Structures are given as C-alpha cells and as structure tokens.
Amino acid sequence: MTSYTRSSRANPCPICGRTRDGDCRILDSGLVFCHSERNGVIPGKQHPKKDFVYCGKSDEAQGFGIWKPLHLCTEPLKTRREPKTQFFQYRLWDGSPLKVSRKRTDYPDKPKWVGWEKRLNGTKEIEIAPYRWHKAMAEVVSVGVLVVLRGELKADLLAGRGIPAISVLAVGDRLVTELRKLIADGHTVALAPDCDLADLDHWYRDLTGAIPQLQTLQCPDKKMDWRSPPADGAVALRTGSPARAPAMTRSWQPSLHCDGSRQLKSPPPR
C-alpha cells in the first residue's frame, strides 16, 4: 500500500501550497497528488513555476493532478511541436536547383510528415546532392570537419553554430566518392546518426560499410539531456564494419573561436 502525507500547515502542498486542509497528498515516492492544480498543463510538460512534471489526472476521491519531481524524471522532456510546414531547397550534384522542394509538416498530436511536395518527374534521389552540400563544401575548407546526418533542421542548426553539416537523402556512388575525396584531402567526416534503426540500419550502415575511415559522433547515453551536455563534449567512434562493435578512438568537443563561430576540434592522437 502506498504511504502518503496529507497537506497541512506543517506540510504544505509543493504544487499549490495548500495548508488549510488535507485534500492534497504527498507520497513517500515523491509524487504529489494535488487537489487544486489538476488541469492547464499538457502531460509530460513541466509546471511553469515548479520543478515538477505533470503526469496526468486521477479521478480518485475528488480528483487530483499527479505531479512528479523533475529530478525523478529519467527521460528528458520533449518539446511540443508547433504545427507548421517548412520547405527545403535541394540541388543536383552539378549545383543546379531542383525544381521540387522537400516538405516537412509538424503536427502537435501525431508524428511529423516529410517528403517531396510533388513528383520528381524521373529524377532519382541519388542524383540529388545532400541538403546543404554545396554550402558545406565551401565551409569545410576553413573548418576541416563535415558532419553527416539525416534531417534538414539538424543540418541548419549545426550550420548556424559554425559547424558544416549536410543531411543525407540517399547513399549512392557519387556521395561515397565525394566523401572519400574529403578524407583523402585531410578533412574529418563524422556521421551523426540518431540512436534508432531508421538511421543505423539504413544510411549509416551503407556509409560505414563503404568508407571505413568515417568517424561517428553519437550520444553515449540515449537518455542524455542535451540541454545540459557534458563539459568534455561527445565521443568519437570509429567502426570498420557495421557488424562489429564500434571502437572508441578520440574525444571531440566544440571550441569557440574569437569570431563567435564553433568548430569541432579533435585532440592530436596519443
């Protein structure tokens, strides 16, 4: 049986501050069943003024709002997507603009939709350069690092922080050849897949199988809260074959330059 303490003058409710009666309950586990604040916050979102996360409503007794202390939440809070549609312009490998845009629509209550706004009219995806490819090639010259991932918004976010990045559309011979050239020229190419099979079993597997020299930037803990990243940055991994477990090589961390740009910098090999 769950033990709890009722709200009172000596034990105010952590959520509403109730002291006049015992209608709110503070469980020994840390959960708070608040009789006053039962609505107004989306489940999974943090209280606007308290370090508690709203878990939903209980109809027990006269009804309660269930609140969980933030420090007990093992999963990082997800930001609620605002409903909107965005378009991304791609180019062919020769630099000419593709006449069809990539479309992303976010919904507040269901998964996002990403795809072409209309038919490609015979153009194959392997004939289309990755998102931001031509811009990133100009940036790599001064930075020496290219981050490869999947997701236009992620690529734009990194680019805005001074880190050259591209979003992979399809893995073909042209992409493999271009990445090999970058590595041969002394640049570092790092893959940044999501920790899910949609990335790991597709474009990530194809690229690591074709180019063993690629490095991988991956969160060491899937539940890591990226709002409070570790001081020493991420970890670089290298794998010669997707079938083998990746071996740790060098640690990576962003360094801030005087002009405000950010660059992924790796220490010299030991």
Show the domain range for 178. Answer: 129-265
* Residues 191 and 63 occupy one common structural domain: no
The torsion angles phi and psi of 154, rounded to 5 degrees, stand at: -65, -45
Indicate whether 9 belongs to any domain: yes
**Structural Rg of the chain based on CA atoms:** 24
pLDDT at 246 over 80: no
Indicate whether 44 belongs to any domain: yes
Of 215 and 196, the one with more pLDDT = 215
* Residues 210 and 168 occupy one common structural domain: yes
Burial 141-168 (b: 16+ CB within 10 A, else e): eebbbbbbbbbbebbbebbeebbbbbbb
Q: For 24-55, what is each residue's pLDDT tens digit?
A: 988 888 888 898 887 667 777 888 888 888 88
* Residues 89 and 61 occupy one common structural domain: no
**What is the rounded average pLDDT of the residues 119-147?**
94
pTM of the model: 0.58
Q: For 13-27, what is each residue's pLDDT tens digit?
A: 999 999 999 889 888
Can you give the pLDDT at residue 165? 96
Can you give the pLDDT at residue 49? 86
CA 23 to chain CA centroid, nearest Å? 40
| Residue 240: C-alpha distances to residues 208, 214, 218 (Å) | 7, 8, 16
Of 38 and 243, the one with more pLDDT = 38
Can you give the pLDDT at residue 31? 87
| Residue 63: C-alpha distances to residues 8, 26, 29, 47, 158 (Å) | 18, 14, 19, 18, 46
Of 108 and 212, the one with more pLDDT = 212
pLDDT at 56 over 70: yes
Indicate whether 270 belongs to any domain: no
Distance CA 60, CA 186 (A): 65
- Tally the domains of the chain: 3
Indicate whether 52 belongs to any domain: yes
| DSSP code, position 91 | B
